[in-house]
């Protein structure tokens, strides 16, 4: 039995930026509905899209955010100090941003595994050796085992979690550890971040669900904590040996108890979420649409694509979206067809209002806007319904 969590209607693929030629060819929209399993409480898409349609050529390059690069630098330093790995595999290593940090710290063997061929090639050119493949038991059988396996922001994208985690268990060296980071379902619910729902995100994960998945494949959590990236994520460390320090066991137990206390294993918390996107759509439209204010977006994030399409905000309101990713520039945003332009365009566009679509990088982007502008545009970002509530208070 499943329960509806959120229905965002028909949506385009969030990272399928279109060329001028593709605009004329029409675009495919897919149902975007998330449901909750009432027996294991895993939150997943009802209609998955074949992964090859989303990841063969991928427009998201993680190294575009200075804060993410800093997060990777600190993460690698912490992992090297704590586990002294001689070999590291990063799954879904994207453009190699994290791998390069392990390289800089002189870890002898570093390998990325990345399904998007364009990213794997880019990472290889920039000094991060990368195998172009989807991770799973098959790929695990083709690589040397590693002391440290890292899976940052990938678990949510995986349709067959058993095969993915089984591959990790196979590829871990006997005393090795695996580290996952993934957006935390609780923060999504608490902050109302419905725009982080798009077809790439197959699952929306709690520690409770991840603990069960890992245990099924013989992996034991030895540490779990919250990190601030992407609106609030969990960092989970696991190994094939059930050894834990008192301190980390206590942290994990506290987080699991917290999830139980807020009722992630009961229907009401999910049922209450279902009406939220429509509420924010109304608030966002009344705040942003139908006004004679020159407006642009900043950051052609996947979450921005969900936000604009679901709210029905298009070129009539947002003339351009600025993005520093070369693979997105010169193309058009999925669904809305808003042109994507480089940061240098800000000076000639001279907008009066800028919507920061990746609210998770708002401080960084706001600083970049102020550094470039000799005028004072209004800078806004979601959530708009909360902003309204704050203003009313
Ligand atoms: P950002 C991605 O989501 C996609 P997105 C993915 N599916 C995932 O799981 C999550 O991350 C975790 C641009 N930008 O990071 C770069 C600037 O132009 O919020 C990006 O296009 N200038 C893997 O796409 C976008 O904004 C800047 O200064 O929602 C940010 O996208 C900065 C900071 C960003 O992730």
Which numbered atom of ligand 1 lies nearest the CA of 322? 18
Average pLDDT of the residues in 208-213:
92
Which numbered atom of ligand 1 lies nearest the CA of 301? 24
Q: Is 29's pLDDT higher than 60?
A: yes
Q: Quick one: pLDDT at residue 225?
A: 93
- pLDDT-based confidence at residue 25 (cuts at 50, 70, 90): very high
Q: What is the distance in A from the centroid of ligand 1 to the CA of 300? A: 7
DSSP SS3 for 246: helix
Helices (H) and strands (E) in the chain, counts: 16, 16
**Whose Cα sits closest to atom 28 in ligand 1?**
365
- pLDDT-based confidence at residue 241 (cuts at 50, 70, 90): confident
Q: Quick one: pLDDT at residue 245?
A: 66
Average pLDDT of the residues in 355-369:
98
Tokens of 66: 């200075």
Q: Quick one: pLDDT at residue 207?
A: 95
CA 238 to chain centre: 21
DSSP SS3 for 120: helix
The angle at the Cα of 78, spanning 70 to 58, to the nearest 5 degrees, equals: 45
Give the pLDDT confidence of 10-20 residue by residue, as tens digits: 999 999 999 99
**What pTM, to 2 d.p., does this model score?**
0.95
Q: What is the mean pLDDT of the chain?
A: 94
Q: What is the distance in A from the centroid of ligand 1 to the CA of 230? A: 9
Q: Is 115 in the pocket of ligand 1 (CB under 6 A)?
A: no
Q: Is 331 in the pocket of ligand 1 (CB under 6 A)?
A: no
DSSP SS3 for 20: helix
Nearest Cα neighbor of 110 from 122, 119, 118, 97 is: 97
Give the pLDDT confidence of 170-206 residue by residue, as tens digits: 999 999 999 999 999 999 999 999 999 999 999 999 9
Q: Is 366's pLDDT higher than 80?
A: yes
Top-confidence residue, 387 or 250: 250
Q: Quick one: pLDDT at residue 388?
A: 45
Q: Which DSSP state fits 49?
A: P
Q: How far apart are CA 124 and CA 319, in angstroms?
A: 36
Nearest Cα neighbor of 178 from 164, 191, 192, 188 is: 164
Q: What is the distance in A from the centroid of ligand 1 to the CA of 344? A: 18
**Are residues 173 and 147 in contact, defined by beta-carbon separation less than 8 angstroms?**
yes
Question: What percent of the chain is modeled with pLDDT above 90?
Answer: 91
Q: Is 312's pLDDT higher than 70?
A: yes
Q: Is 295's pLDDT higher than 70?
A: yes
Q: Is 364 in the pocket of ligand 1 (CB under 6 A)?
A: yes
Q: Is 390's pLDDT higher than 80?
A: no
Strand partners, 223: 237
Q: Is 242's pLDDT higher than 50?
A: yes
Q: Is 155 in the pocket of ligand 1 (CB under 6 A)?
A: no
Q: Is 391's pLDDT higher than 60?
A: no
Q: What is the distance in A from the centroid of ligand 1 to the CA of 277? A: 21
Q: Quick one: pLDDT at residue 54?
A: 97
- pLDDT-based confidence at residue 40 (cuts at 50, 70, 90): confident
Tokens of 37: 């399993």
Give the pLDDT confidence of 117-172 residue by residue, as tens digits: 999 999 999 999 999 999 999 999 999 999 999 999 999 999 999 999 999 999 99
Q: Is 288's pLDDT higher than 80?
A: yes
**Whose Cα sits closest to atom 30 in ligand 1?**
301
Q: Is 302 in the pocket of ligand 1 (CB under 6 A)?
A: yes
Q: What is the distance in A from the centroid of ligand 1 to the CA of 13? A: 15
**Whose Cα sits closest to atom 10 in ligand 1?**
153
Determine which of 24-33, 104-113, 382-391 has the lowest per-residue pLDDT on average: 382-391
- pLDDT-based confidence at residue 393 (cuts at 50, 70, 90): very low
Which numbered atom of ligand 1 lies nearest the CA of 300? 21
Give CA separation, 24 vs 15, 191, 380, in Å. 18, 38, 32
- pLDDT-based confidence at residue 392 (cuts at 50, 70, 90): very low
Which numbered atom of ligand 1 lies nearest the CA of 62? 15
Average pLDDT of the residues in 71-77:
98
Burial category of 276 from C-beta neighbours within 10 Å (exposed 0-12, middle 13-18, buried 19 and up): middle
DSSP SS3 for 3: strand
Question: What percent of the chain is modeled with pLDDT above 70?
Answer: 96
Q: Is 340 in the pocket of ligand 1 (CB under 6 A)?
A: no
Q: How far apart are CA 212 and CA 40, in angstroms?
A: 9
Q: Quick one: pLDDT at residue 5?
A: 97
Give the pLDDT confidence of 373-389 residue by residue, as tens digits: 999 999 999 998 765 44
**Whose Cα sits closest to atom 18 in ligand 1?**
323
**Whose Cα sits closest to atom 7 in ligand 1?**
200
Average pLDDT of the residues in 65-73:
98
**Are residues 352 and 311 in contact, defined by beta-carbon separation less than 8 angstroms?**
no
């Amino acid at each position: 039995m499943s329960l509806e969590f959120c229905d965002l209607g028909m949506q385009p693929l969030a990272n399928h930026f279109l060329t001028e030629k593709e605009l004329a060819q029409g675009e495919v929209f897919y149902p975007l509905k998330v449901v909750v399993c009432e027996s294991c409480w895993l939150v997943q898409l009802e209609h998955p899209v074949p992964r090859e349609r989303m990841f063969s050529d991928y427009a998201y390059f993680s190294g575009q955010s200075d804060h993410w690069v800093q997060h990777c630098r600190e993460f690698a330093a912490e992992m090297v100090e704590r586990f002294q790995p001689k070999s590291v595999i990063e799954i879904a290593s994207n453009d190699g941003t994290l791998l390069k940090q392990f390289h800089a710290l002189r870890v002898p063997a570093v390998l990325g595994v990345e399904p998007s061929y364009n990213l794997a090639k880019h990472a290889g050119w920039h000094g991060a050796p990368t195998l172009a493949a989807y991770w799973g038991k098959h790929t695990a059988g083709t690589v040397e085992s590693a002391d440290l396996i890292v899976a940052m922001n990938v678990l949510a994208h995986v349709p067959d979690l058993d095969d993915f985690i089984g591959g990790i268990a196979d590829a871990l060296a006997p005393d090795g550890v695996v580290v996952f980071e993934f957006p935390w379902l609780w923060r999504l619910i608490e902050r109302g971040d419905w725009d982080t729902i798009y077809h790439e995100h197959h699952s929306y994960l709690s520690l409770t669900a991840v603990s069960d998945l890992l245990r099924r494949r013989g992996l034991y959590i030895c540490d779990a904590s919250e990190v601030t990236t992407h609106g609030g994520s969990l960092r989970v460390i696991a190994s094939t040996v059930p050894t834990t320090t008192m301190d980390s066991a206590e942290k994990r137990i506290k987080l699991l108890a917290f999830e139980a206390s807020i009722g992630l294993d009961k229907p009401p918390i999910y049922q209450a979420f279902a009406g939220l996107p429509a509420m924010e759509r109304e608030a966002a439209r009344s705040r942003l649409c139908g006004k004679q204010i020159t407006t642009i977006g900043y950051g052609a994030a996947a979450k921005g694509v969900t936000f604009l399409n679901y709210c029905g905000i298009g070129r009539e309101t947002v003339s351009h979206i600025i993005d520093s990713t070369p693979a997105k520039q010169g193309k058009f945003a999925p669904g809305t067809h808003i042109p994507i332009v480089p940061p240098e365009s800000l000076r000639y566009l001279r907008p009066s209002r800028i919507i920061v679509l990746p609210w998770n990088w708002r401080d960084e982007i706001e600083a970049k806007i102020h550094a470039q502008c000799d005028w004072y545009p209004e800078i806004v970002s979601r959530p708009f319904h909360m902003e309204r509530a704050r203003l009313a208070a």
